Structure 1
């Protein structure tokens, strides 16, 4: 991986997550994602042999997996209780074809090499194994991103990156296909959380270990005048009628299967046994014919 592709200081991110875990880590988004995982897996009518939770910050997903697998492991990226092994999402400590089910909740948005991480997850799955996970999408914290950039440009004469770039929904389906997953599915849900003021949002982000861990971040703290201007802009642009402020979180869900001969496959071109024109009850024209000719 080239230096130009290193977006996140992952060591700093793990330090902040460790502090957040020690302080109680009130991650309401992760609790919501865990409930969604349970609902999504309930629609899969099969029992899995070996399952693993890959990097979910809190030990919330593992109990859901244990209900659907003979064996369920938890891989954490930081040392702590309830983890079966500690590893890196960019260097998975798993052998090829060692899992039947892999899940990851709100962790993959912090890796530098998302395509590589997906390829490793795909290799760790046995044929017809399932990967399901979620990460933060591109609309996450769009309000905060806008006001911080504008406030810093006004007060400091320039802006530095303070909100991580999150993956776009349209790109993630292609990444699943590139990683070798069959039957890929991508969908998203927008969650709006309301705050009394900007400072309540910032407190929550710090408490969840979501401080700025970008390698290109400005090392100096934010100036007070910049912060106050951002707070004022947030009220001007994103306040509801009752005065509370909106913060957007986009949760993007990914799923895909390790290829297996039993899975549905698209028909070969030219193999259809009926004509579309007959099904629609219209006349068929060759590529060189003009309509109405």
Structure 2
């Protein structure tokens, strides 16, 4: 009996195009990069806490190169994978690894269970996967603004995001021996909706939906901007929260 292919929610072509544009934007001094910086710092803290000393590691999605540089400083042989060329829904090259780190990447693949299976397959016995994603609960003010922009018939403009329970179930389904999923919040303040959108594009986190809605018209965009600012504090800043989920799994 043939298996049913996963639904096509995301466009790999649009995702890669957004990442390439983000790298161009990163040449600007004030380009946002706080999501990835937070994830890199968290991974390094986890490795230190676990006293993990892998001989080989694969780093996926860190376009800053910071994590690979830090690991090499610890004597780790590191391979780096560019998500603009690596297809995470296919077997990974160069395995096995003692450690695989995936940053802000797995939340935009259509076959997430399959991707996790491929990551597990690329680990050696006793290897560990650490994957950080932007999780459910993120960008509540942006979601509210998008709904307000088209009150009669809101279009799908935001990515579906996984929560803690779903992430744990996915790791178990991918046959990891032990699974730990934990979340933390990263709060950032914005003076306008446009600045938030610009920051997301700086970090390659723009819309990658396979069936994107048409751009907002002028009136709809103004409604979105106004709805976003209704959540502003006394200083006129809107505090937006990113929930960062970290999935950790061990292979037998």
TM-score normalised to structure 1 length: 0.79
Q: Is 2:217 the partner of 1:223?
A: yes
Q: Structure with the greater relative contact order (CA < 8 A, sep ≥ 6): 1 or 2?
A: 2
Match of 2:64 in 1: 58
Match of 2:81 in 1: 75
Distance 1:54 1:171 in 2: 22
Match of 1:288 in 2: none
Match of 1:48 in 2: 54
Q: Does the C-alpha gap of structure 1 residues 67 and 115 become closer, same or farther in structure 2, counting only changes over 3 Å?
A: farther
Match of 2:234 in 1: 241
Q: What do you get for the CA RMSD once the two structures are aligned?
A: 1.8
Match of 2:197 in 1: 202
Any stretches of 5+ residues in structure 2 without a counterpart?
A: none
TM-score normalised to structure 2 length: 0.91
Match of 2:11 in 1: 9
Q: Does the aligned pair in 2 maintain the 1:61–1:105 contact within 8 Å?
A: no
1:247 Cα deviation (Å)?
A: 1.3
Equivalent residue of 1:41, what SS?
helix
Post-superposition CA distance 1:149-207 (Å, at most 9, x none) = 12212xxx311111111101111111111111122111001111101111111111222
Distance 1:21 1:248 in 2: 24
Distance 2:82 2:226 in 1: 39
Match of 1:135 in 2: 133
Q: Does the aligned pair in 1 maintain the 2:35–2:203 contact within 8 Å?
A: no
Q: Is 2:86 the partner of 1:87?
A: yes
Runs of at least 4 residues of structure 1 off by over 6 A?
none
Structure with higher Rg: it is 1
Q: Does the C-alpha gap of structure 1 residues 67 and 44 become closer, same or farther in structure 2, counting only changes over 3 Å?
A: farther
Any stretches of 5+ residues in structure 1 without a counterpart?
A: 79-85, 260-293
Equivalent residue of 1:132, what SS?
strand
Q: Does the C-alpha gap of structure 1 residues 126 and 3 become closer, same or farther in structure 2, counting only changes over 3 Å?
A: closer
Distance 1:17 1:243 in 2: 31
